[in-house]
Structure 1
Amino acid sequence: MVQENDTHIYEFILLGFPTTTELQALLFVIFLTVYLLTVTENIIIITLIISNHQLHKPMYFFLGHLAFLDAWYISVTVPKLLVSLLVRNKNISFTGCMAQLYFFIALVCTECVLLAVMAYDRSVAICSPLHYTVIMTRRACVQLAVGSWLLGFLLSMLKVFFISQLSFCGPSVINHFYCDISPLLNLSCTKRRVAEMVDFVSALLILLIPLSVIIISYICIISTILLIPMAQNRKKAFSTCASHLAVVIIFFSTTLFMYARPRSINSLDLNKLLSIIYTIVTPMLNPFIYCLRNQEVKDTLLKVLCSRAAVSRVSASDL
């Protein structure tokens, strides 16, 4: 049972996807498959980047961070969802809810900044190729990556602090499958204007500033590519950015709608559907997008698979 007094709730109920037992079993299988596939994909990308010297470049250094982020990103929400679908335990403590909210927001903010950093890296590579190795040094890449993580986790701390100071008197049912900002604000029984304003302004800053960097970077990239005389060379230059651009469009189109809008424009069922896209579908698609659109990653993966197959054949013949 949910414990509560006149001023505070100590436990919430995540409503999730209320439906029939058969459909919940199907949802469990689908989400479990997607979760395992996503984690496996990202681990493979990280392993490829670390173990292959030809991928020790700034672009793949940041891709490794994105893969690491996506593996944790989906792990913040999906395991709790799987538990609720399997054992019907939909309760989550107040502390657990705030912790889930903190790490989820932190990873979203980090991804926003990291995608902007990756756009900047591509703009330097295409617009200033002769100065690329001087600008994007190992030290600069580490500083940009660490800065992305620090900014995301610090901004998340600010947002969650104001939300955790609100009083929740009931009802204690969160119409979502994880602790998100909008449904929590709707459950508050105290004045939430300050928390809403902090959330709205910080969401605009963490979304619009990186998005502005991305737009400016791609304006420079496209302007430079258009000056390249041969069509084949133009296509080759843009192909290095195509996968990143696809990830940016998918990620920012959903997050802008979800977080950079006043809370009065609210539809919780629509929020849940959109949340599936950027919390579950996007982390699963990112490795596919980067592998299918990046010839160097595909060649490295094919080389590793062929070498493993050759070793297996040799071992089998020795037996």
Structure 2
Amino acid sequence: MDLFNSALGKNITFLRPAFFIISGFIGIPNINYYYAFLVFVYIMSVLANTAVMAAIYLDHNLRTPKYIAVFNLALVDLLGNSAMVPKVLDIFLFNHPHISYNDCLTFLFFCYVFLSMQALNLVALSYDRVMAIVYPLHYQLKVTHRFMFSLIASFWVFVIIVVLIATGLLTRLSFCESVVIKSYFCDHGQMYRLACNDYTPSDITAWILLVLILWLPLSIVLLSYLCICYALAKVATVRERMKAFKTCTGHLSLVAIYFLPITFVYIFGNVIHPNARIISLSITTALPPMLNPIIYVLQTQEIKESLKKLFQTRDSKGNL
């Protein structure tokens, strides 16, 4: 961050606190039950995403461009919940609400990188579905391993750069009054609004991030399914349409689980109780990483078969 500041200007002093205080869940009635729920969500997320990644890595039949994106989604879900949930539990369950300035920025950076990658990974999967259904004759030519690796790598680079810029702009702010962040993690919006100097660049960046990481991916996904529906309308029989659309049910479920709750919170967040908003927003970030692999296992025959073979192999070795 010092390099970021030196690039923007020299001989500028900013008032940086020694620590911030995360106060999001403090004072909410019966919150201990929610902490138990978060522990369950995290354990299930680790187990489910690890199982999906193991199945894809060990089964050569699953090493297709589509499952490169699925593997990356499982990895992002695992890393995202690992960056978020244990720290949240440490802050609130073990009563460590104070977090140092640098640790808070680091916490913010990793949380936003992984949350953003979840959305962009759904875009990659929607592209796969469009090419498979709308342009089936060109699928093998267009959706290659190299293309999918390049697409996902470009998403990673893009997300890291934009989140790094947003985090770097926070270091240009002075915090001379409150250091209490009314959220469950180092929330970008909550942090820059605590500043006592001009935070317009951070405010503009926040809106740009909202468009690039939430609304634009959602628009691309919706547009892709409009193309799919238009293509399926030309299919001769209803049975063929249903068969083709069935291949999209897993991805559609992931889209609904990720985008619907977070969109609801952003649209109606100002009219619901602050405690309800914090709980709702934390659920939207913690729950999808647990549900995504479960949905893919239940709705994708290839992964189910691969996991069955994996467990049968382990059982047979254990019985020897």
TM bucket normalised to smaller: 0.7 to 0.9
How far has the Cα of 1:179 moved from its partner?
0.6
Residue 229 of structure 2 aligns with an amino acid whose one-letter code is I
Computed over aligned residues only, the root mean square deviation of the Cα atoms, in angstroms, reads 2.5
Q: 2 CA distance for matches of 1:20 and 1:264?
A: 18
Please give the per-residue CA displacement for 1:50-108, whole angstroms capped at 9, x wherever unaligned. Answer: 10012111111100000000011111211111212443111101111111111111222
Aligned counterpart for 2:208 among listed residues 180, 201, 214? 201
TM-score of the superposed pair, with normalisation by structure 1: 0.88
The corresponding residue for 2:21 is: 13
* Residue in 1 that maps onto 2:10: none
Q: CA shift at 1:124, angstroms?
A: 0.3
Please tell me whether the aligned partners of residues 174 and 195 of structure 2 are also in contact (alpha carbons under 8 angstroms): yes
Cα distance change of structure 1 residues 31 and 206 upon mapping to structure 2, 3 Å threshold: closer
Q: How far does the alpha carbon of each residue in 1:219-274 deviate from its partner, in whole angstroms, 9 at most, with x for none?
A: 1111222322333332221121111111112212233455689x988964343122
Could you give the per-residue CA deviations for residues 94-125 of structure 1, whole angstroms, max 9, x where no partner exists?
11111111111122222222211110111001
How far apart are 1:34 and its partner, in Å?
1.5
* Mapping for residues 120-139 of structure 1, pairs under 5 Å: 120-139=127-146
Alignment of 1:1-319 (within 5 A): 7-19=15-27, 23=30, 25-257=32-264, 268-313=274-319, 315=320
Number of residues paired by the alignment? 307
Structure 1's 190 and 266: CA in aligned 2 closer, same or farther, altered over 3 A? farther
Can you give the 5+ residue segments of structure 2 that lack an aligned partner in the other structure? 1-13
Check conservation: 2:162, 2:209, Cα contact below 8 A: yes
Q: Secondary structure at the match of 1:87?
A: coil
Q: 1:181 to 1:31 in 2, by over 3 A?
A: same
Retained in 1: the 8 A contact 2:52–2:74? yes
AA at the equivalent of 1:226: A
| CA distance, structure 1, for counterparts of residue 273 and residue 100 of structure 2 | 24
Structure-2 change in CA distance of 1:268 and 1:143 (3 Å): same
Unmatched 5+ residue regions in structure 1?
A: 1-5
